[in-house]
C-alpha cells in the first residue's frame, strides 16, 4: 500500500463535518468505525470515547487545510508537525496481498496500526499520509472547496494544479451560479443602457420644442 493512500484518511475525517451547513455525521461509534473503510481490524477498537477524541483531531486537521488554503505554508506545516509528534507512526515493510509474476512478495511501506486506541491509530495514519502528500506535492495541493457553502477538504492531484472544488457536483453548481450571475449582470447593464438611451432621447425631444 502506498503512503499516499493514507492521506485520504485525513480528508474523510475532515469532511465528516460541514460547519457552514451545520452538519456533522460524526455522532456515534458506528460513524467512527465507518471512517476506517476496509481497515476493519482497527475499526473494531473504536469505542464511544473515540467520538469526542475524533472530533478534536478533526478540528486540528481542518486547521491544516485552512492554513494551506490561505497560503500560510509555515502554519500548515507547524500544525501538521504537532500532530505527527503527538501521534507517531510505526512504519513497517509489508508484502501481504501483493505478488509479482513469480509469486514473490512486492515489498512496500505500510503504516502499522497504533495499539493504544482507535483515535491514536487513525490520527497517526491520517497525519502521516497528509505529511507525505504535502512534502511530495506541495502545500498548495491541500485545499478547501470554493463552492459556498461547501468548503470540504480535498487533495489536488491535477497535473496543472487547477483544482478548486471537492467534487464534480460542486464544480457544476459553482459554474451554474457563476453563469447566472453573469446573466444577471448583463441584464442589469442592458436595462441601464436602455434607460440611458430613453433619457437621452427625452432630453433631445425637450430641447427641440
pLDDT in tens, 144-185: 999 988 999 999 988 888 889 998 889 888 777 665 667 676
> Where residue 12 falls among pLDDT bands split at 50, 70, 90?
very high
For the chain, the average pLDDT equals: 85
DSSP assignments along 56-81, one per residue: HHHHHHHHHHHHHHTT-HHHHHHHHH
C-alpha pair distances (Å), 9 with each of 40, 54, 133: 14, 12, 12
- Judge residue 130's burial from the number of C-beta atoms within 10 Å of its C-beta, 0-12 exposed, 13-18 middle, 19 or more buried: buried
Q: Which residue has the higher pLDDT, 194 or 62?
A: 62
Length of the chain equals 209
25-39 residues labelled b (16+ CB within 10 A) or e (exposed): ebeebeebbebbeee
Whether the pLDDT of residue 1 is over 50: the answer is no
What is the C-alpha separation between 208 and 192, in angstroms, rounded? 24
Closest CA to 150 of 38, 45, 65, 33: 65
Whether the pLDDT of residue 73 is over 90: the answer is yes
Whether the pLDDT of residue 25 is over 70: the answer is yes
pTM: 0.78
What is the C-alpha separation between 31 and 17, in angstroms, rounded? 12
What is the C-alpha separation between 54 and 42, in angstroms, rounded? 14
Amino acid at each position: 500500500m502506498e503512503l499516499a493512500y493514507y492521506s485520504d484518511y485525513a480528508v474523510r475525517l475532515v469532511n465528516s463535518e460541514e460547519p457552514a451547513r451545520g452538519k456533522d455525521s460524526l455522532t456515534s461509534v458506528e460513524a467512527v468505525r465507518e471512517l476506517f473503510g476496509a481497515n476493519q481490524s482497527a475499526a473494531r477498537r473504536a469505542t464511544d470515547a473515540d467520538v469526542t477524541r475524533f472530533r478534536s483531531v478533526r478540528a486540528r486537521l481542518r486547521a491544516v487545510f485552512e492554513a494551506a488554503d490561505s497560503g500560510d505554508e509555515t502554519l500548515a506545516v507547524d500544525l501538521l508537525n504537532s500532530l505527527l509528534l503527538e501521534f507517531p507512526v510505526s512504519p513497517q515493510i509489508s508484502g501481504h496481498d501483493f505478488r509479482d509474476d513469480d509469486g514473490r512478495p512486492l515489498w512496500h511501506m505500510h503504516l502499522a496500526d497504533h495499539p493504544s486506541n482507535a483515535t491514536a491509530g487513525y490520527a497517526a495514519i491520517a497525519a502521516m499520509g497528509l505529511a507525505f502528500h504535502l512534502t511530495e506535492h506541495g502545500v498548495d495541493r491541500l485545499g478547501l472547496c470554493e463552492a459556498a457553502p461547501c468548503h470540504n477538504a480535498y487533495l489536488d492531484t491535477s497535473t496543472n494544479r487547477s483544482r478548486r472544488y471537492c467534487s464534480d457536483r460542486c464544480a457544476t453548481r459553482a459554474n451554474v451560479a457563476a453563469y447566472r450571475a453573469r446573466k444577471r449582470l448583463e441584464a442589469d447593464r442592458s436595462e441601464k443602457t436602455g434607460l440611458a438611451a430613453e433619457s437621452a432621447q427625452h432630453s433631445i425631444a425637450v430641447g427641440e420644442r
